[in-house]
Structures are given as C-alpha cells and as structure tokens.
Chain A
Amino acid sequence: MSKISTGHFSIEDLENVQITIGKIVGAIEEKVAEEIDMGPTPKPSVSALRDWDHQLLTRYQPVYTPQCDQCCYCTFGKCDLGGNKEGACGINLAAHQSREFLLRVITGAAAHSGHGRHLLHYLIERHGRDHPLDVGPSNLLAPNVQMVTGIKPKTLGDLEAAIEYVEEQLTQLLATVHMGQEGAAIDFESKAMHGGMLDHVGMEISDLAQMSCMGMPKSDPEAPLAEIGMGCIDATKPMLLVIGHNVAGVANMIDYMHENDLSDKIELGGLCCTAIDMIRYQMDKGGQPYAKVVGTLAKELKMIRSGIPDVIVVDEQCVRADVLDEAKRLSIPVITCNEKIMYGLRNRSKDKADNIIEDLVSGKEAGALILDLDLLGEVAPRLVMKVAPLRKEKGIKALPSDEELTALAGKCVHCGACELVCPNNLPIMDAMKACVEGDLTKFESLHDHCVACGRCDQACPKDIPVLDVIEKASQKAISQEKGLIRSGRGQISDPEIRQEGVNLVMGTTPGIIALVGCSNYPEGTKDLYKLAEEMLKRNYIMLTSGCSAMDLGMYKDEDGKTLYERYPAKFLGGNLINVGSCVSNSHITGTAIKVAAIFAQRNITGNYEEIADYIMNRIGAVGVAWGAYSQKAGSIATGCNRLGIPVVVGPHGSKYRRALIGKPYEEEHWKLYDARNGEDLPIPASPEFLLTTVETVEELMPMLAKNCIRPSDNNMGRMIKLTHYIELSQKYLGQMPDDWHRFVRTETDLPLAKREELLKILEKDHGWEIDWKRKKILSGPRMKSDVSAQPTNLKRLCKGEC
C-alpha cells in the first residue's frame, strides 16, 4: 500500500478526478479503532451526564445568594421573586438563580469557544486543514476534546468537528434560559455543569490551534521571562497598546515590525490575555520577548489615562466598553479588529492602509474597524510611528500636575458618595484629606486596591476625576511596578505526567493549586504572591494562568527576584508553572485527565463520568480564582467542578450568586463504593465544597491544604497533607484546626514530629483508644487505611455490576 495516506492524483485526460482512496481506507481503519475504545458518552447531550451531576449536587448543595430578588426576563414580568416566591411563569427564586448562574456559565463558554472558532477559521485559512497539531512531546494531544467528544484530533481540521459540537450544545443550553420551561433548580445546575464542561473543550481547541500554528512554547519549562508592569513601559518611544484576548491581530503587528526594522523603535505593550499570548508568540525556539505586559484589566483605565499609549488596538473579551471615549479625550486613535467590539467605528477592512492612516493621524476619525488582520498588521505600527511625534508636539496632557492634584483634593467635600459606589468601598475621603496635607501614602496604598473601574468619577458631585487623582498621587509607586513573568508554556507533557502522577495520586506531592482568573481581589495584588510563596515552599505544584499569572510576577524578594526566577517550571512539587492565557486553563483540567489516562491507564475517550470519578477521588487539586469577576471565570470553575475539582473564589465571587457546599456533619454524604466488591467506603469530607468563597488569604491557605486531601492518599501522603493543614492553620489562624482528627485513619497518618502529642489529643478529646506501648490507634477512626481500595461514586464500575 502507498505510504501516502492522503493526496491528489491526476490521471491523464481525467484531470478533474480526485482519487482519495488512501484517506477513505485510513478513515475506515481509524473509525474501527475508535469504536473499539469509545466510551459510553461521546459528544454527550444536555441530559447524558445528568445522573453524575445530580450525584455531585446531592453532596454539594447549591447555596443561593441572589444579586437581585427580581426577574425581568420577559414581559410577563417584572416579577418579584423575593422570599423564593414564584413569578408569573411559575419559576421560583432558587430556580431563577440557577438559571442566572447557567447564563453566566454559557456566556463565558461562548466567549472562549467564539474565540476558538475565530482562531480556528483564521488559522485554517492560513495553514490548511491538514496542518498538524503540535503541542510538545505528548501523544495525548487534546485530553478535554478526547474525553468529551471522543474525537482524537491530529490536525487543525479535526478540531472543527469538536467546536461544532460545542456550538450546538451551547445553543441548546441557551434555549433553556427562555421563560417558563425548566422549573427545577437542580436541572439548571446540571445544565450549568454541562456548559462548564463545554468551556474546557472550547478553550482547549483555541489554545491547541494557536500553539500549533504560532510558534508558542510547547510544554517548555524553560519558556522565556518577559517584562511586566506599568513601570517597565518606556514612554520615550512611540507606544502601541493592545488590549484583549485574541493574539491573531498582534501577531501580524509583531511580524510587520520585525520585517520593517521597527521592533526596537516601537514600545509594544499589552493588557490582559492578548499580552500573555503575544509573549508566547514565536517563542518555541528560544528568543526573548520584546513586547511587554502592562498588566490586568485593573490597569486598563490607568494605562489609558496615563496618556502614554499613542495607538490602542482592542480585540475581544475583557476590554472596557469605553476605550474609544477615553482614548478620544487624549487624541489616541483606536483600532478595533474583531466583530465582538466595533464601537460604532467605520469598517475600513477593504481600504488602503495609507488612507486609513491619514484619516486617523489627522484626527478626521477617532478610530477604525479593521477586520482584515494582514491590513491591521501593517496599519497599527505605521500609525503609531506617525501619531507619536504629533501627540508629543501637541503636548497632550493626561494626568493633573502636582499643583492641580492638591487643588482637586481640596475640592473634596467628604460627602462619601465615591466610597459608597466603589466596589471595594475604599477610603477615598481619608486619602483626599491626607493629599491636601501633602501626604500621598494613603493614595499609594489605595492604588493597589483600586481596580480602576471609574465608578467614583461618575459619582462625585464636585466633578473630581477621582481615578486621575489616585493615579497621579501614585506615580512613584507606579514607576516601581516592574516585574517578570514566565511566558506560558502550554500543556503538561505525557512524560511529566508519567514522572509525577504517582506522587499526586498517593498524596506525597501534597497537591496542585491552580491560581487562575481575574484581578478583582479583595485586598490588592500582594495576597496572591503571599499565597503562592507559602504553598511553593511547602512543595505544592502551583499552576497559574491569565491575570493571576501576571500579578504573581509583580513582586520581588529581598534579593530582587520574582517567584518565576526563584521557582522552576517543571511539573513537580514546588514548581511554578504558567500554562498561558485564559484559554490555557484547559491544560489544568487536561493535566488531571492525563493522570487518569497515562498514570492509571484509564480509557478517556468519550468516557467523561469514569474519568471525573477518578479525578475527584484521587487527585488533590484545588482551583483558586481569587479575583474572579468575569463570566469566563465562572464557566472555567464550573467545568472544573463537573470533574470533581473544587474551586475557591474571593469574596467578590459571592456575586456569582451560587456556591456548591457540602455538609461534613451529614455522614451519609461522605461515602463511596469500593470498586473491588461494591461495599460502602467511608471517605473524609474533602473536598468540602465544589465552589465556595473565602474571606481572606489567611483563611484560604489552611483551607487549601485540607481540601487537597483525597481518599486515595497513602499514609505518607496523608501525613504530609495533614502536616500542612495543621501547620497552616496554626500559622494563619493561630490554632489547631477543629476537624483534623476526621482525616486520621491510622497512627501512620499522623505527622511524625507530633505523633505522640496528637495521639494524646485523640484519646483525651475524642475518646479514641490508644495502645500506648505500640503507639497504635485501636479504635476511633471512621475510615480504614487501605491503599488498594478502589474508591468510586459509580456503582456500575464495581465488580460484578456489569
């Protein structure tokens, strides 16, 4: 048989006939192979995994905290559902809250998969359907896609069927939001889980496509470091600022700048995930990113208002809706390049570059919509070279002068309106008073807590531009905002899983903490650093992505080193791995799926429930979205939840409206089956929740350690996890945790150094029987220690059941 599996042959006189027999034969062979290992739920429908969801939701019950007691979905309403009343269509507040949650999840999932579809379409046009997926030294290329859809993609074209499935299911889910219809909160919850699962497929498609075609690092622990922070921007050069999540446009700008010797003449900076992905672009063969990351969404308005950018290009997702208005005030032309954001601008996609540049330089038009990304690649750099000297010449003034600052602060009548509307109720009045007296320190500390939303400006009866005042007063602090971030390295590779999988399942690596999500933190950015440093020292594997990955790079130790310089990026305990942008979060769930596939040799293809069951009971991983604000963070978390991975959000996360929390005091919820014989297997109450909020980072740390405990821990693993739980609780809460004894199965689970002391407590406070001669526990624990037990939620997987 020919070695060419696909190809076009032209036969003389029959030039238009294409013979693709190889492909047909290959496809048949593949189909047969696929059918042999296909699990029970390839491309699951909305109801296919409902039993699994209901099982999860029985243990982890929804806790609703409405943002609004009313519903205004249809013209029967507005309905007051307060007190869990029913609206005109019969829905009650609980079901409506779960519907609201579902809507957030599918909005997030649509944002990622819309992004994925755009990238895929664009990259297929450039590279063709047969372009191979290349993600590093792995055979399991697309764990989420394969587990959910049963498809094993090898090329860009193979991803199309997977994204079509996601799109179809998202339409089905959106249809369920229509008035009336579903009345059971629990089924909206199951639908939300479905949406979360789809999100991880959509994200994976996006990142696999861009990694394969755009030269991004591929499972590379040596991915380069890039500069980050407002303070690292060189304002003397013409500055091009890109904002958003889709790297396709800025990649063309980078190419154009490179080809035209502009790279060192233009300061290229980015906000949000476009920035994260532009420092991955063409970095797979070494090299150093010259583009700089400005920071997260919390820096967006501050960066624009600084007046430093000469041109702004926005693409999609986390981009402020008022960029054009803000930029116009400072004569900064804005280019939009994605259908998600068009700001009412004229479509110039078919115009000549010269004409567009002329109109924007002259100020005739404030911006342009350019959907042709090749054209964009040329226009943006050329435009910035022309606009920058003109803006300099005009002396565009952005922030107030020192004198104006004092005068503005002096105008404040301390009415408190700004503090009331501020999402963090920041002490603006006090800072204004201090500022008048020449003390700027209060504003400097406020600056790190301020997410630059601009609501204070809107509220002030004295028309004080409060945000400008904050920014001006904090110039010294801002100039010192300089750090380093490791460029996103993509997936965890198969060989890495082979090496570390056993430690994760046995618990000897105490857990994976995934720091993800946005920048709406309760107490500024430093908390994240504090958390990561503590857990890294304790040998947890820290995975990070997106805005959290940025903020982690902003702080240095006494030696001037950032966390990325201090901790390596291999998939091992005590390593810090930036997987990449928002869509790279799929590699975090992908890692857990890979452990099931590679370490445990489970068949993942179209086999969602079994793999989720495996992950939930064996892999001590917890997600932390400390500053989560976007719908996408909600959908990412929910996708983790369906796999049994718990997620903690910061206090602002209470506005997602619902949490999923278990009751450790109800023993009937904390048992599984032992797959060896189908008998009941009591388990520890961990994870205690699937989604919850936590108040402070001090509370969070012991909670993370506890919620990494899993039934599969061996004695060494449990001992390590308990040690961290107890130590963190003592360090940050000043006490032994109340419930540590619930995780003890045998004396060898107890931290070695404290064994005797703890045995005494078990005897005295909990009535356990101890054989003091042999230092052994005789009775007391609810669970036995048995490393060969096979914990499962699924009766069908037990011996003799099928």
Chain B
Amino acid sequence: MVDTTKNTLMYTTWGTKTAKPVNPNVAAKLISKAKKPLLVAGAEIVDNEQLAQRAIAIGKKGVQIAATGHAITVFHGKGVNAKYINIHALAHYLGDKNWKGLDGQGSYDMIVFLGHKKYYLDQVLSGFKNFSDLKTIAIERHFMQNATLSFGNLRPDVHIEALDEFIENL
C-alpha cells in the first residue's frame, strides 16, 4: 500500500483552510460512493504515456471525464465518456446549480483532478474552496492545498503506483 499522505510541504499558503492528505484507497472509496463523480483530466497527460493510461483506466471504470486543455486527444477511440471543456469555464459552470453537466443529465457531486499544472489547478481549486460546496480530490503528484482532499508531494514513480492502487479500489 502506498502512503500518499506524508509530504504535504507547501511553498506558500492561501489561508487557514488546507486540503486533508488522503490515501489512494480512501480516495477511491469516496469516489465510488459519489452519485455523479467527474474526472477533470488536464493536458499534462498528453505527453506522459503513464499518466494517460491511468486517466483512461479511470474513465473505463465508468467515471465521466472532462478533458481540459488538449487532453481530449488522449481519449479519442478509447471507449471512455470524455468531453473537451476549458477548465476555467468548467469551474464557472460547476459553481452554477442550473448547469446540466457535460452530458445534459445534471451536475456533479465529486470532482477528481489529474494531469494539471500545480499553480494553475490550485488557483482553480481556490475558487471551489471559497465559493462552492463541491468536494474536490486531487490525485496529482503535488500536494494541492486548495482541494478538499489531496495526495501529498510524490516522486513520479510513487505517484504512478498510487494511481494504480486508486484505480484498483474504484
């Protein structure tokens, strides 16, 4: 079992409320329990075969995917339910109770993030943290302090191991 809760070092603080460190199996259980989870996959997966495979595997478990940046190019023809959307627009719509979701079937109750630039995602998450009730889980290589739950800072190989454990438990 990979412990993804050890290194939660931050470079700067946003405020007093900070993400709880989470282990892969716990994160996976929470997502499995959610009514309508969404994986937001960012463009960092495009040139990272290892990450791309894991993102596809999460999609194969039935989690809907919002592909931001040009991450959608990874999902074509892979038999997953993925749609392109700009991450800033997505953040805006997710905060809107009237938004019908990417599939027109209603919004989401648990948002998972993978494949994003640390500084960018933490900004997006600070919007959610302060202006919405959404639960967010970052399964990134870096500790995302503005998420509700986050992996700590991990070495790339440990991160992949953690993702595999996460997928197994979905």
Dominant SS among interface residues on chain A:
mixed
Q: From the candidates B98, B127, B153, name the one contacting A416 in the complex (CB within 8 A).
A: B153
Task: Tell me whether A80 and B16 are in contact in the complex, defined as CB-CB below 8 angstroms, given that A65-B123, A695-B42, A733-B73 are known contacts.
Answer: yes
Residues of A within 8 A of B68 (CB): 695, 699
Binds A, one of B28-36, B49-57, B85-93: B85-93
Is the beta-carbon distance between A69 and B100 smaller than 8 angstroms? Answer: no
Identify which of A68, A661, A665 contacts B100 (C-beta below 8 A). Answer: A665
Q: Fill in one digit per residue for A647-665: 1 if any B CB lies within 8 Å of its CB, else 0.
A: 0000110110001010101
Does any Cβ of B come within 8 Å of A522's Cβ?
Answer: yes
Q: Is the CB of B120 within 8 A of A693?
A: yes
Q: Which of B46, B70, B87, B126 contacts A67 (CB 8 A)?
A: B126
**A651: B residues at CB distance < 8 A:** 117, 119-120
A contact residues around B126 at 8 Å (CB): 65-67, 69
Verify A665–B17 contact, CB threshold 8 A: no
A64 on the interface (CB 8 Å rule)?
Answer: yes
Interface size on B, residues (CB 8 A): 43
Q: Is the CB of A420 within 8 A of B130?
A: no
Bound-state Cα–Cα, A66 to B72, Å: 28
**Is B159 in contact with chain A by the CB < 8 A criterion?**
no
| Contacting residue for A64 out of B17, B120, B131, CB 8 A | B131
Q: How many of A's residues come within 8 Å of B, CB to CB?
A: 47
* Contact A67–B123 (Cβ < 8 Å): yes
- For the complex, is A696 an interface residue (Cβ under 8 Å from B)? yes
CB within 8 Å of A: which B50-85 residues: 68-70, 72-73, 76, 83-84
Measured CB to CB, the closest approach of chain A to B5, in angstroms, equals 17
Flag whether A190 is at the interface (Cβ < 8 A). Answer: no
- Given A84-B130, A735-B72, A738-B83, do A63 and B119 touch, yes or no (CB 8 Å)? no
| Most chain B CB atoms below 10 A, which of A425, A666, A695, A703 | A695
Return the contact of B15 from the options A65, A80, A732 (Cβ within 8 A): A80
Q: Indicate whether B168 reaches chain A with its CB closer than 8 angstroms.
A: no
Which of A416, A655, A735 sits near B84, CB closer than 8 Å?
Answer: A735
B87 proximity list for chain A (CB < 8 A): 693, 695
Closest CB of chain A to B13's CB: distance in Å?
Answer: 8
Within 8 A of A (CB), among B1-32: 9, 11, 13-17
Give chain B nearest CB distance to A412 CB in angstroms. 15
Given A64-B127, A420-B11, A692-B89, answer yes or no on A734-B16 (Cβ-Cβ < 8 Å): no
- Contact present for A688 and B89 (CB under 8 Å): yes
Minimal Cβ-Cβ distance residue in A for B142 = A425
Q: How far is the CA of A663 from the CA of B97 in the complex (A)?
A: 13
Contact call A69/B127, Cβ cutoff below 8 A: no
Decide: A423 and B119 in contact? CB cutoff 8 A: yes
CB pair B130 A63 closer than 8 Å: no
Query: How far, in Å, is B23 (CB) from chain A's closest CB?
Result: 21
A420 to B123, CA, bound (A): 16
Q: List B contacts of A621 (CB < 8 A).
A: none
Whether B86 and A703, one on each chain, are in contact in the complex, defined by CB atoms closer than 8 angstroms, is yes
B50 to chain A, nearest CB (A): 15
Contact status A663-B93, CB under 8 Å: yes
Contact between chains at A733 and B123 (CB < 8 Å) = no
Q: A654-B124, A688-B89 are in contact. Are A64 and B69 (CB under 8 A)?
A: no
| CB-based contact A69/B17 at 8 Å | yes
Q: Which residues of chain B are near A797, meaning CB under 8 Å? A: none
List chain A residues, Cβ under 8 A from B73: 698, 732-734
Most chain B beta-carbon neighbours within 10 Å: one of A93, A425, A659, A699? A699
A residues within 8 A CB of B11? 420-421
Give the residues in chain B near A93, CB-CB below 8 Å: 130-131
Query: What is the CB-to-nearest-CB distance from A385 to chain B, in angstroms, rounded to a whole number?
Result: 45
For A693, the chain B residues whose CB sits under 8 A away are 87-88, 120
- Candidate in B84, B88, B100 with the most chain A CB atoms within 10 angstroms: B88
Shortest beta-carbon distance, B119 to chain A, in Å? 7
A570: shortest Cβ distance to chain B, in Å?
Answer: 33
B43 lies within 8 A of chain A by Cβ: yes
**Do A65 and B69 contact each other (CB < 8 Å), given the known contacts A654-B88, A692-B88?**
no
Which residue of A84, A655, A663 is within 8 Å of B131 (Cβ)? A84
The CA-CA distance from A696 to B46 in the complex, in Å, is 11
Contact partners of A663 in chain B: CB under 8 A: 92-93, 96, 99
Which listed residue (A63, A70, A81, A732) contacts B91, Cβ 8 A?
A: A63
Most buried by B among A666, A693, A732: A693
When A661-B89, A663-B92 are in contact, do A735 and B15 touch as well, CB less than 8 Å?
Answer: no
What chain B residues lie within 8 Å of A424 (beta carbons)? 117, 119
Nearest B residue (CB) for A691 = B88
Residues of A within 8 Å of B13, CB to CB, are 68
Q: In the bound complex, do residue A734 and residue B120 qualify as a contact, i.e. CB atoms below 8 Å apart? A: no
Query: Is A733 in contact with B84, judged by CB distance below 8 angstroms?
Result: yes
Give B100's nearest chain A residue, CB to CB: A665
- A516 is an interface residue with CB less than 8 A from chain B: no
Nearest-neighbor residue (CB-CB) of B89 within chain A:
A661
Are A661 and B16 touching (Cβ within 8 A)? no
- Find out whether the CB atom of B88 lies under 8 angstroms from the CB atom of A68: no
A657 to chain B: closest residue by CB: B123
Nearest chain-A residue to B102 (Cβ)? A738
Q: B17 contacts which chain A residues (CB < 8 A)?
A: 69, 82-83
Chain A residues with CB under 8 A of B96:
663
A698 near B15: Cβ-Cβ < 8 Å = no
Distance between Cα atoms of A93 and B126 in the complex (Å): 11
Contact between B92 and A61 (Cβ–Cβ < 8 Å)? yes
| Inter-chain contact A83/B92, CB cutoff 8 Å | no
**A735 contacts B76, CB within 8 Å?**
yes
**CB closest residue in chain A, given B15:** A69
| Contact flags B90-112 to A (C-beta < 8 A → 1, else 0) | 01110110111000000000000
Given contacts A66-B14, A68-B15, A82-B17, contact A692 B86 (CB under 8 A): yes
A651 to B115, alpha carbons, bound, how many Å?
Answer: 14
Binary CB contact string for chain B from 152 to 166 against chain A (1 if under 8 A, 0 otherwise): 010000000000000
Knowing that A661-B89, A703-B86 touch, tell me 19 more A-B residue pairs with CB under 8 angstroms. Answer: A63-B92, A65-B126, A67-B123, A68-B15, A69-B15, A69-B126, A70-B15, A70-B16, A81-B130, A83-B17, A651-B117, A651-B119, A654-B88, A655-B119, A655-B123, A693-B120, A694-B86, A694-B88, A695-B68
14 pairs of residues in contact across A and B, judged by CB atoms under 8 Å: A64-B130, A65-B91, A65-B127, A66-B126, A66-B127, A83-B17, A420-B9, A421-B11, A654-B88, A665-B99, A695-B87, A696-B43, A698-B43, A735-B72
Q: B residues engaging A (CB < 8 A)? A: 9, 11, 13-17, 42-43, 46, 68-70, 72-73, 76, 83-84, 86-89, 91-93, 95-96, 98-100, 117-120, 123-124, 126-127, 129-131, 142, 153
Please report A residues at the B interface, Cβ cutoff 8 Å. 61, 63-70, 80-84, 93-94, 416, 420-421, 423-425, 522, 651-652, 654-655, 659, 661, 663, 665-666, 688-689, 692-696, 698-699, 703, 732-735, 738
Report the 4 A-B pairs with minimum CB-CB distance, sorted nearest first: A69-B15, A695-B69, A698-B70, A654-B123
